[in-house]
Amino acid sequence: MAGQLDGRLALVTGSSKGIGAATAVELAKAGAHVILTGRDVRALETVEDRIHDVGGASTIAPVDLEESDGIARLASAVAGRWDKLDYLIISAAYLPTLTPVTQIDGKQFSRAVTVNLLATQALLANFDPLLKRADAGRVIGLTSSVGDNARAYWSAYGSTMAAFDNLLESYGSEVEKIGNVRVAIVDPGATRTAMRAKAYPGEDPQTVKPPEVVGERLVELLVNDFPVGHRERIES
């Protein structure tokens, strides 16, 4: 897919590691200029090195999604340099400790609500003008099956992902008839990430797919485009 996204600008949240990092590299391989966001500057620099190694281009834009004005400042900085945003990939998420509903840690739950839900609304609100200036602005949100299907001990995370899905679907319905912005929700399925290892500490990581598989699929969706209201799960 080299060169098929030439001239496109993509912003990937959570691009310092895991699926976000893999997606950023795949986007760069396809020709997009990628804005790398996350809290760990050193990790972002490592991803940028990987992008440069494949001949791609990127810009590091550190941001803490838990900061109330961090996303607004990020959007202002992007708008000051570019006149549009073609792709917004929402990959960052926080997984609280798995626990019964009655024992949810309040601080962890609050952080999950902030990162998984409030930050998503702020991203959509602040980048909406730039997405609408693109000829075909696209938003892809990475979700989890526990948002659709309640599972014991996953309630703190699952409830925020259910709200995440609703927020993205609502935004997609609002913009589809007034412009060229479309929204897709993708469940990456079992993937070899730090979050997966936290949830399944006894699992052999070699038994699940690497994040590059997800990154490749997301780029494929953007290259071939997806229909209004698209939703899928990546099995392998």
Q: Which residues are catalytic?
A: 157
- Contact yes or no for 78/35 (Cβ under 8 A): yes
Return the amino acid letter for 225. D
> Which DSSP symbol is given to 100?
-
Query: For residues 33 and 10, what is the distance between their CA atoms, to the nearest angstrom?
Result: 6
Q: How would you label 3-39 residue by residue, b for 16+ Cβ within 10 Å and e otherwise? A: eebeebbbbbbbbbbbbbbbbbbbbbbbbbbbbbbbb
Strand partners, 187: 233
Phi-psi region of 82 (alpha: psi -120 to 50; beta: other; left: phi over 0): beta
Give SS3 for 158.
Answer: helix
